[in-house]
Amino acid sequence: MEDIKIIEYSPLFAKGIAEMWNKSTDNWGGNNVVKTEETILREHENLTFLNVFLAVKGKEVIGYCRLSEYKEDEGGLYISLLNVRPDYHGKKIGKSLVIRAIERTIELGWPRLDLYTWPGNTKAVPLYKKCGFFWEKRDGMIHFMNFIPTVLQTEILKDYFETFHWYNDAKREILIEPDGRIENGFEYYEYLWEKNGKRLRVEFERLGRGIRLIETDDYMVSAMVENKNLIFGRKYKVFYKILNKTGEPLNVSIKGLNDKNIIFSLDKSMKVVGEKTIEGEFYVGEIFEEQSKWRTHPAVSAEIMINGKKALFRVGIVPMFPAKLSMIVPDYESFKNVKSECYIEVVNNFKEEAEFVFILSDSENIRFLKKKFNVKLKGNGKDLITIPYILKDFSFYSANIPVTVQLNNGEIINFRKNLSAAFKGRTGRFGGETENSWIICNGSYSLELNKFNNKLTIKSFIKDLYNIFINYPKIGRPFSTEFSKKRVEKVEYFKENDAMVLKAVYRSKYFENIEVVSVSKLYANGILEHHYEVYNLANNETEQEIWLNESIFYDFFRAVIPYENRIIELKGSYGRLIDYWEGSKVTENWIFSQGDKITRGLCWHKDYRVVLNEELITIEHNFGKLAAKEYKSTKPIYIALGTFKNWQEFRDFALKKVYSEKLSPSDHFDMIVNGGNPFVKDSFKVKIRDYKQTYFNGKITLISETSSFKPVEKKYTESDQIRETEFLINIKKNIDLDLLKLDVNFNIIEFQRKIAIFQIKDREIKRKISKEDGIDVYSMENGVLEIKAAPSFSNSLFSLIYNNHEWLDSSFPKPKPKSWWNPWTGGLVSAPMDLIFSSILEEKRMVNFVDIEDNYQNKWSGIKISYELEKNDKYCGLKLNQYYLLLPGLPVLCFTTEIIQNTGSLFNFVDFYTIAFLKPDSEITKSWFISRNLSGEMIKYKAGINQEIHSHSPVLFGSENRKEKVLFFAGQNSTNLIAFANNEVIAGLGMNKIIAKNNDKVFTPPIFLIFTEEYLPEVYLKDLKNIWFD
């Protein structure tokens, strides 16, 4: 240890800290998140710590210890993070860091130091126990408490530590199990020191977190309460036992101290020779809520002086109602004017049998069908009582009901207990207070402010595994965690326009005269609007700048994130750890998640920048110095629960755009083929990019399913620090369609992904104009497909030939009645939904051969059918250019329509359709279509009878008589697809909502007809969504 030093954090060591974490992943279950100097600097600007201690060897950081104020209980500091680099385990670095944290706790005058670890981390238990920590028995995470700071700060004990060293001379059996000796229901923790024939023993009581026994070579003093569970409103006994081991008189005084709701006025002084027991009486005052099990309890406290030196003794008790009565309304939808049931849980807090009688009172909106209840319970027994009721209207119930208790000895006790609960439905706005929280409700949604940790949680009737809540506010810098446990000063709830408002007022202990007000507005559509107001209540300007930290817990499961100017989509749990992401790379002011059963969205003002750290999305506000009586407020954030069906809608809301441009999301582990262009030539590049803060660690392989190239692979280790790579692919044979398979086999994850590519051939596209049935026909052929249009016949493409088979069903050369239509021309066509065929046929049409480039500069050739509506009143002035496009040698037809809007009106989400009447077989009954449903099942629908589906995936059309099939893929609008059939037709239909001002020109998202022998799921075709025209 000679060359290892324990020092305070400095930004100069940020790079070394990042390297330490990157080499310590095995300490944390194999976490592969990569830390950088920048992320460390940002983390340490925003965390609410008091101190960070580093173990350094030269310029290397090999250990880390963060000290914070303990936010779950009073009177303690907290080691919130401790790490030693694995290659330095066993060198007592962890011990040095922990001891430094204990020393700092003492320097700051705190009585206790806590820490948590996970149940599987038993190898760390001996270190903690040797440093004075006690393992508190509880479920879940392992909680440790260290009372050495109290020992060393207690006046009566200080002289002993001139002889003893608190660490070196401690005597303790180290067992890998919870600590504590149980006596009469109390749990005691013991310290013991021995050196040179001298001995010191100190016991702490768990509930009160204080000393209850001191034994030296000269005396022993102990405190004992007859029972820990005490009914309020009564007096109880406490006993102080003093044993003098010397022959000299011992000067002893005991002065009782009030603590919370315990009144204790004992005041005695005496000389003790031998042994003496002092009896005291204390009173347990009224309580208004149940005592939290894991927080410091009210204690029977006394200042004890022995020979002029004092010590504070504390024995914690559990103040209790005579009975615990809690109203429980199942957290699902209530219904009006029907008999329903809620429940009251009754717990007998007496050790003996007791009978409880209580009477419920109706409210304006709730009528109880039974009001009086007699419940007899054994000592400490409990029961769940069913309460039938009828609800007139959704509302909050709160009543202070009378309760009578009769004990076996005839004693009768009367008290009152508040019962409260929300009866929620689809309508109604109201608020109220329960034992654990303040609640407001607006329709199907509710917002709860937890009384014990000040978290704001929005809920709905739809239960989802992935909650979102607003954390308690923090002011600073460094930011204080005082509001994690400090109860709000005042809460109001009221109606405001369409919202239900919850206003909570916090008063700071550390920042004098600073008041923080949390304002939440809950709307019936599931939107929560929230902001903070910060007030300077003083008559003078604040001495320092006032900072506010607002943070939101947000789970990234199935999240969509605007990141590095892309839209990154997480399709499951992989990548959901927030530490994978950097707030500085979030390029828009929103995050959205599809969730498990309900969508969630969070957005903030566009001027704010977020920090992502420790499961929280954080925004910092610097208000500067506040003038006397001045207040400032934050701009609101918005949380939407179940309001928006997809990220595109929520993005529009966040960006305040009426209609945002269409974007295709990228995967967080992205495979970018040919720059996102699915149409490739003989040579192209494939980029593999991980957007998360992690490095490649394993093998990446690219494989062609048609063997158009040999498999290629690259191998990496984490030390290479690579998160992006590129492959150059050279196709060795001609293909129409290939599936490029990515195979990733890393140390922590293995997966495969496929993307379809289409090879453009070096072929001439032929075009000609000929006569068929006496009319002009424009045809184009790319070596695989032939398409035809005839302007005098209709505005549709009437022929699509592949492998010598006609795939379009058409009435060419003349319109005729068919099925539901008269006239009907069939083929492939686009038009406004409410514009009938006959209106279109009345207009003049033009046909031209065209060459046009898409956004990737792919050179398409095709037929353009143009017409302008002049005779239709509603759409007069509308011009449509329909493009039927081919690439050389590919069995793919692309169709898009240019809409030139000169009607003089606004197209306000006008329905436009694209329909393809298909002919998979000359016999309609031999034709079918296949679609994948939302459960992933492939279902075949046979033509010849009425069939109609709304599909969220591509639809494959085929026949029993041929292996070739055609896939109808709606590209960017892949979820707006309909397939239908009857005894005469089979067709695919794509829908678009068009918004366009007068004189606007817009293109519809392309639709693709792809000839294939197998079904291609949408995920394989994702790059086709990147293709667009303008």
- Provide the token pair at 604: 């903030």
pLDDT digits (tens, 9 = 90+) for 322-370: 888 999 999 889 999 999 999 999 999 988 999 999 999 999 999 999 9
For residues 108 and 50, the answer to whether their CB atoms sit within 8 Å is yes
Q: Strand locations in 508-648, DSSP E?
A: 514-522, 527-536, 547-554, 559-563, 566-569, 590-593, 600-603, 610-613, 616-622, 631-633, 637-641
pLDDT at 108 over 60: yes
Separation CA 633–CA 473 (nearest Å):
13
Secondary element (H or E) of residue 654: helix 647-655
Q: Report the relative pairing of strands 229-231 and 318-320 from DSSP bridges.
A: parallel
Mean pLDDT of 917-928: 96
Predicted pLDDT of residue 289:
80
Same domain, yes or no: 919 and 952 = yes
- Provide the token pair at 964: 């070739």
Full domain range(s) for residue 750? 668-759
Residue 880 belongs to some domain of the structure: yes
3-class DSSP state for residue 761? coil
Task: Tell me which of 43-47, 918-922, 951-955 is least confident.
Answer: 43-47
Of 660, 681, 696, which marks where a domain is finished? 660
For residues 801 and 884, the answer to whether their CB atoms sit within 8 Å is no
For residues 54 and 66, the answer to whether their CB atoms sit within 8 Å is no
pLDDT digits (tens, 9 = 90+) for 734-756: 899 999 999 999 988 999 999 99
Q: Strand locations in 317-411, DSSP E?
A: 318-320, 323-328, 339-348, 354-359, 366-368, 372-377, 382-391, 395-407
Residue 781 belongs to some domain of the structure: yes
Phi and psi, residue 177, nearest 5° = -165, 165
- Which residues, including other chains, have CB under 8 Å from residue 175's CB and lie 6 or more apart? none
Give which of 138, 32, 18 is closest to 83, Cα–Cα.
18
Residue 678's CATH number: 2.60.40.1930
Predicted pLDDT of residue 643:
96
Same domain, yes or no: 512 and 481 = yes
- Provide the token pair at 224: 């004992």
For residues 405 and 325, the answer to whether their CB atoms sit within 8 Å is no
Same domain, yes or no: 753 and 631 = no
Predicted pLDDT of residue 973:
72
Q: Given pLDDT bands bounded at 50, 70 and 90, which one contains residue 2?
A: low
Separation CA 979–CA 974 (nearest Å):
12
- Provide the token pair at 208: 């009160």
Give the residues across from 606 on adjacent strands: none
pLDDT digits (tens, 9 = 90+) for 795-834: 999 999 999 999 999 999 999 999 999 999 999 999 999 8
CA distances from 724 to 688, 692, 754 (A): 6, 11, 18
Residue 127's CATH number: 3.40.630.30
pLDDT digits (tens, 9 = 90+) for 693-737: 999 999 999 999 999 999 999 999 988 999 999 999 999 988 999
Mean pLDDT of 44-68: 88
Residue 938 belongs to some domain of the structure: yes
Residue 700 belongs to some domain of the structure: yes
Predicted pLDDT of residue 450:
94
Mean pLDDT of 390-412: 93
pLDDT at 464 over 90: no
Same domain, yes or no: 676 and 537 = no
Q: Given pLDDT bands bounded at 50, 70 and 90, which one contains residue 974?
A: low
Residue 853 belongs to some domain of the structure: yes
Residue 294 belongs to some domain of the structure: no
Predicted pLDDT of residue 38:
87
Same domain, yes or no: 434 and 528 = yes
Same domain, yes or no: 727 and 681 = yes
Global pTM value: 0.83
Same domain, yes or no: 20 and 39 = yes
Residue 894 belongs to some domain of the structure: yes
pLDDT at 660 over 60: no
Residue 1007's CATH number: 2.70.98.10
pLDDT digits (tens, 9 = 90+) for 870-920: 999 899 999 999 999 999 999 999 999 999 999 999 998 899 999 999 999
Same domain, yes or no: 652 and 674 = no
Predicted pLDDT of residue 514:
93
pLDDT at 690 over 90: yes
pLDDT at 662 over 70: no
CA distances from 923 to 94, 750, 797, 988 (A): 80, 47, 21, 18
- Which residues, including other chains, have CB under 8 Å from residue 2's CB and lie 6 or more apart? none
Predicted pLDDT of residue 659:
59
Of 123, 146, 169, which marks where a domain is finished? 146
Same domain, yes or no: 804 and 902 = yes
Same domain, yes or no: 940 and 912 = yes
Mean pLDDT of 922-948: 93
CA distances from 313 to 146, 213, 984 (A): 17, 8, 93
Same domain, yes or no: 854 and 917 = yes
In the chain, the amino acid numbered 596 is: D
Secondary element (H or E) of residue 281: strand 275-284
Query: How many domains does one find in the chain?
Result: 4
pLDDT digits (tens, 9 = 90+) for 134-177: 999 887 788 999 999 999 999 999 999 999 999 999 999 999 99
Of 467 and 373, the structure prediction assigns the larger pLDDT to 373
Same domain, yes or no: 707 and 633 = no
Residue 94 belongs to some domain of the structure: yes
Of 528 and 597, the structure prediction assigns the larger pLDDT to 528
Give which of 293, 326, 343 is closest to 435, Cα–Cα.
326
Of 759, 783, 811, which marks where a domain is finished? 759
Q: Given pLDDT bands bounded at 50, 70 and 90, which one contains residue 46?
A: low
